[in-house]
Amino acid sequence: MALDIVNLLADRAEENVVLHERHVNPQFAKVLRTIGFDQSWVRGQGPYLYDSKGRQYLDMLAGYGVYNVGRNHPVLRKVLTDFLGTDHPSLIQMEAPLTSGILAEELKRRVPSSLDTVYFTSSGTEGIETAIKLARCATGRPRMIHCHHAFHGLTNGSLSLNGEASFREGFAPFLPGAVPIALNDLDALRAELDLGDVAGFVVEPIQGKGVFVATDEFLLGAAQLCRQHGALLVLDEVQTGLGRTGKLFAREHSGVVPDILVMSKALSGGHVPVGAVMTRRDVFLKVFSSMERCVVHSSTFGQGALAMVAGLATLDVLDEERLVERSARMGDLLVKGLLELKARFELVRDVRGRGLMIGIEFGRPASLALRMGWDLAHKMSRDLFAQAIVMPLMADHAILTQVSGHGTDVVKLIPPLVIGEADVARFLEAFEAVLERAHHFPGPIWEVTTRLAKHAMKR
Ligand SMILES: Cc1ncc(COP(=O)(O)O)c(C=O)c1O
């Protein structure tokens, strides 16, 4: 008898965390239990998740920015099942697949005309590895420059360009000469480029860790400096791409035109891993420089038909439902509400971002009692306070958010772009309630920090 997947999942719905403790990642399972994120998820629809007890959650994390079109979008499902019904052959390998040709055509309609050649990947980090190889091979130079706090993925090349020590610990040595500079510091970039050995500069238009925004002047200046020094500008739009920041690509805010543009995450529609690296034909041909080198960089699943079709369906939904405009509108609404809360609550230091990529940074309060709580929590660990905000949002208000990066006081919001005004209101109301409680020391929010610190010590 064929596998009865529906009943299998229903029968074993509550076993998920135990299975992970036994077979997958016991440390992550422990973290999930500690912070109360150990639900058994059974359904996802648009911006909502449902656990096995039938509770509905508002998803402000969107699978780390994968679900821009929302979960289980009916158009995605229809297109993918229609396609599976055609018996279309995929991965013949010695072929030129129609599906990747059409997706490349569609992507090119949406970016500056200089980015006229597309390389497909199965993940974001593979896109960055591709960009590193393209830049080094095309320029004949060794070094890549990145930014403090940068996150470009966790394979070896991408990790060499990671701006956080916590991710790098234990994995040295890295790519030689990969040097970080401060975001928005053109002088620092110029100093590195002046050395004459830089192949490329990789930068996120808005950094995923901490939600630090690259200024328009910096991005435009970086493009000019790279051009003057014969280096390539690589824009990592793995997270900011496809509507997240209120433009289809975040590059549109400044008008900067990179030499290499990397995207992934949301292009998948949340169904099939996919990514794309777009570059100029002259850069591409310096690498794929002869018939012998026609597959000098490639991977087996790179142009899988189901992934290409997921990409096509996702672009279609983004257009049809005008989700990019919606991202800008809902983002404005969220930021407006958050700024009102910032004016009332001293723990909120900054609200930043673009579209539906928003960071809320907390800061040391002025009033004495709160400052005591803040200092105590931060003495125990730099990671605790934001986590103590994320936890009650989940437990008491059924809202899924995340702490943005290690050792930061930033809570990040990257909901599906399909959220509506009622969802924004639901978040703001819940956040206000959590802030009210956080502004009483001692109180339950601060007790959470102590509890977390004890758990961390036990570990
Ligand atoms: C900006 C950025 N680049 C690259 C990556 C790596 O993507 P992946 O996890 O698909 O390898 C991520 C993932 O979070 C990202 O946010």
Domains of the chain as residue ranges with CATH: 39-69+322-458 (3.90.1150.10), 75-320 (3.40.640.10)
Cβ–ligand 1 distance for 200 under 6 Å, the answer no
pTM of the model: 0.97
Instruction: Give CA–CA dist 394/250, Å, rounded.
Output: 29
Q: What is the pLDDT of residues 43-87, one digit of tens each?
A: 999 999 999 999 999 999 999 999 999 999 999 999 999 999 999
Cβ–ligand 1 distance for 64 under 6 Å, the answer yes
Percentage of the chain with pLDDT > 70?
A: 100
Q: What is the 156 CA–ligand 1 centroid distance (Å)?
A: 13
Dihedral of alpha carbons 32, 36, 39, 43, sign: negative
Nearest CA to ligand 1 atom 4: 152
Could you tell me the pLDDT band of residue 156, with boundaries at 50, 70 and 90?
very high
Contact at 8 Å (CB) between 145 and 201?
A: yes
Q: Is the peptide bond before 442 cis (omega within 30 degrees of 0)?
A: yes
Contact at 8 Å (CB) between 62 and 46?
A: no
Task: Work out the average pLDDT over 399-424.
Answer: 96
Contact at 8 Å (CB) between 222 and 257?
A: no
Contact at 8 Å (CB) between 242 and 414?
A: no
Cβ–ligand 1 distance for 153 under 6 Å, the answer yes
Question: What are the tokens at 223?
Answer: 């493009």
**Higher pLDDT among residues 457 and 273, named by residue:** 273
Q: Is the peptide bond before 173 cis (omega within 30 degrees of 0)?
A: yes
Task: Work out the average pLDDT over 112-129.
Answer: 98
| Summary mean pLDDT of the chain | 96
Instruction: Give CA–CA dist 251/214, Å, rounded.
Output: 10
Q: Is the pLDDT of residue 458 over 90?
A: no
Q: Which of 326, 333, 366, 367 is nearest to 351 (CA)?
A: 333
Contact at 8 Å (CB) between 117 and 259?
A: no
pLDDT of residue 451: 83
Question: What are the tokens at 404?
Answer: 């943005």
Task: Work out the average pLDDT over 256-265.
Answer: 98
Cβ–ligand 1 distance for 304 under 6 Å, the answer no
Task: Work out the average pLDDT over 366-395.
Answer: 93
Counting other chains too, the contacts that 49-52 makes at CB distance below 8 Å and 24 or more residues apart are 49/400, 52/13, 52/14
Percentage of the chain with pLDDT > 90?
A: 93
Nearest CA to ligand 1 atom 7: 124
Q: What is the 65 CA–ligand 1 centroid distance (Å)?
A: 9
Counting ligand 1 atoms within 8 A of each CB, the residue from 238, 245, 261 with the most, and so the one to mutate, is 238
- Number of CB atoms found within 10 A of residue 287's CB: 18
pLDDT of residue 15: 98
Instruction: Give CA–CA dist 235/109, Å, rounded.
Output: 18
pLDDT of residue 111: 98
Query: Which helix (H) or strand (E) is 277 found in, with range?
Result: strand 275-279
Instruction: Give CA–CA dist 363/341, Å, rounded.
Output: 14
Q: Which of 41, 36, 40, 51 is nearest to 18 (CA)?
A: 40
pLDDT of residue 459: 61
Counting ligand 1 atoms within 8 A of each CB, the residue from 120, 125, 402 with the most, and so the one to mutate, is 125
Cβ–ligand 1 distance for 208 under 6 Å, the answer yes
Q: What is the pLDDT of residues 431-456, one digit of tens each?
A: 999 999 999 988 888 888 888 888 77
Cβ–ligand 1 distance for 273 under 6 Å, the answer no
Question: What are the tokens at 106?
Answer: 């569609």
Instruction: Give CA–CA dist 326/228, Å, rounded.
Output: 38
Cβ–ligand 1 distance for 124 under 6 Å, the answer yes
State the pairing for strand pair 117-121/143-147.
unpaired
Q: What is the 153 CA–ligand 1 centroid distance (Å)?
A: 5
Cβ–ligand 1 distance for 409 under 6 Å, the answer no
Could you tell me the pLDDT band of residue 335, with boundaries at 50, 70 and 90?
very high
Q: Give the sheet arrangement for strand 143-147, strand by strand.
A: 117-121, 275-279, 260-263, 232-236, 198-203, 143-147, 179-181
pLDDT of residue 457: 72
- 179: helix, coil or strand? strand
